[in-house]
Amino acid sequence: MISVYAVTALVVLALITQAGVVVLQRIYPAQGRFVDVAGARLHVIDIGPRDAVGSPIVMIHGATSNLGTMRVPLGDQLSKNHRVILIDRPGHGWSTRDELANSSPAMQAKMIDEALGELGIANAILVVHSLAGAFGARMALDYPQRVGGLVMLAGVAYPWPGGVGFYNKVVTTPVIGPLLAYTITLPLGLFLAEPGTRAVFLPQVMPEDYVQQSGIPLLLRPREFLANAWDLVTLKAAVAAQASRYADIEVPTLVITGDTDSTVSPEIHSRRFAATVRNANLIVLPNVGHMVQNAAPDLIISEIENMIAAADIKPKAASR
């Protein structure tokens, strides 16, 4: 039987968590607009010149993060000369989704496609990182009218040996998961957020104030923490189901990975994906880990601009 002390401790932790949510949301407020789609409300930041020449750039973040990880430094630098659309994936950052467990790449790609339709975005250069690789590939397959080019940054594309962390499975367990998410996750996570993020950067050094600049602590809010766990525990089966379709991707594709990435294996994912997609190029960065957008932003920007230039030339050539 649960003791009075245990119940009291849980109540105190729940109150601390709710107070922490209020504080975090004041520190990291929404900075963009909201777009309502079926099953979700997406937070979108639209930066850069609206009249920029060439395709707009749409950037989608991976797991355990929000759009801030794509904005610093890559999105901000690209927005100097291009229109850049940054999206909090459903359930992350300031985006919501109605069903936490409904987290498949197919469903989230559908939501993102609908939001881009509301914004009037077509033939965009889609830049995706890590877990969002599965969503980028899915969008190129299901919504080719939205995707003029695909840039996969250390993207997940195939099943891998092992799992996604025991705690993610625990958090998606009925009753126990929500109990943990609404009590200990936030106070404990505040101590673990910085060292955990620092580890993802290895062998590179995490930039100073990166956790604060990118708004990583927003993940510790209960609903977002639960959404992130569901994304992760369902991802392996989802990529296994869609991987046989990758040869049908027709859009120009660039795959960039670091050869020392210990988070998303270059061999399992990037190399295999680049070899499967008929119109793909692969760049492997030596001595670079998982955060390729921070390790080599100038190279990535140059490659994106080359893709935009190539996409801009094709219609002119076809009209002759």
Tell me the pLDDT tens digit for each residue of 169-184: 999 999 999 999 999 9
> Dihedral, CA atoms, 13, 18, 20, 21, nearest 10 degrees?
140
Question: What single DSSP character describes residue 123?
Answer: S
Spatial CB neighbours of 316, under 8 Å, sequence gap ≥ 6: none
Strand 147-153 with 253-258, pairing: parallel
DSSP letters of 133-169?
Answer: HHHHHHHHHH-TTTEEEEEEES---S--SS-S-HHHH
3-class secondary-structure state, position 263: coil
Q: How confident is the model at residue 317 (pLDDT cuts 50, 70, 90)?
A: very low
Segment 298-314 mean pLDDT: 90
What is the pTM for the complete model shown? Answer: 0.95
3-class secondary-structure state, position 200: helix
Calculate the CA 86 to chain-centre distance.
Answer: 10
Predicted confidence (pLDDT) per residue in 32-76, tens digit: 999 999 999 999 999 999 999 999 999 999 999 999 999 999 999
- Selecting from 2.60.120.200, 3.40.630.10, 3.40.50.1820, 3.90.550.10, what CATH number does the domain 4-315 have? 3.40.50.1820
Domain segments of the chain as ranges: 4-315
Closest of 134, 128, 160, 137 to residue 256, by C-alpha: 128
